[in-house]
Amino acid sequence: MYNTAMSKKFITSDEIILPEKLYKYRDWNDPYHKKVITDGEIFIASPNRLNDPFDCNIQFAYQKFAENEVLERSYLNDIIKDQFPYFSKIQHEIEVNRLQKLHKDPKWIEAATKNTYDRLSSKIGIVSFSELYNNILMWSHYGNSHKGFCIGIKSRRFLFEKDRKWGGGPINYVDEYPVILPTTSDISDITTLLFTKHSMWGYEKEYRLIRTKAANTVEKIYEDDIAEIIIGYAMSEKNQDEIIKIAESKYPSVPIFKMKPAIYKFELIAEKIK
């Protein structure tokens, strides 16, 4: 269901409003995070690697079937015809009744939800960016408490050049749990599943890229994809010297900034150092 819908929804440069730059916060002490600079690689994570247990894991609203038995039976009839075309009418009806009972079983719903999430995690790859480079909490949570770094990418170049194909968009932050019927194949419901988080995550200002059949792979990033490299204000001198040396060698045209706290304001300021 989700794979078919997503594969038909690659975004194009004509239909999307993008920030000029998108930002990825990283920890220079993590060898995998360093690869974005040292090897020009951005990791495309599966949903089960994300740090929010509800991310891409919204339960289908099986309880809504109790309000519409006609819809439920139509849904089950289609499934059984597809999976068991050789069933007799009696076998078919027995299976429909069996599945109707399961839809009311909390343990079955839990298992079905896990199965959907596991399948999704094996097929969908995600890269999360922020629209902001100066977010104090993002530096604290994802930039090793301001001792890490942040890479800014040129959004349109990274999304649309070099024959790249992405689905994507901004995260929708909500307070109420979404309702998605198991019967859905609507792209708007698939979007809800993949691009909805609770409002407590709103500070991240996340812009998410998605690619099918790309879970736990890497995407190459080139010098002309990179808008800037930003060093956290608390990065050690040793790490700063190392990142500058590598960046100057591999990406000589890319400017390097360092964050510093503003005076008399709760703000971070990017100061160009290279």
Count Cβ atoms within 10 A of the Cβ of residue 167 and give its class: 0-12 exposed, 13-18 middle, 19 or more buried. Answer: buried
pLDDT in tens, 141-180: 999 999 999 999 999 999 888 888 888 889 999 999 998 8
How far apart (Å, rounded) are the C-alpha atoms in residues 274 and 252? 10
Q: Which residues contact 254 (CB under 8 A, 6 or more apart)?
A: 223, 226, 227, 228, 229, 247
pLDDT in tens, 24-70: 999 999 999 999 999 999 999 999 999 999 999 988 888 888 778 88
pLDDT at 3: 39
User: Helices in the chain by DSSP H: which ranges?
Assistant: 2-7, 31-38, 69-83, 89-102, 106-123, 136-142, 155-160, 187-195, 237-250
- Whole-number average pLDDT of the chain: 89
pLDDT in tens, 58-76: 888 888 887 788 888 888 8
Task: Check residue 131 and report its DSSP letter.
Answer: S
* Spatial contact of 138 and 25, defined as CB atoms under 8 Å apart: yes
pLDDT at 172: 95
pLDDT at 15: 59
Share of the chain above pLDDT 90, in %: 65
pTM of the model: 0.85
| Reported confidence tier of residue 131, pLDDT bands at 50, 70, 90 | very high
pLDDT in tens, 183-241: 766 566 778 889 999 999 999 999 999 999 999 999 999 999 999 999 999 999 999 99
| Total Cβ atoms within 10 A of residue 168 | 22
Nearest to 136 by CA among 267, 270, 240: 267
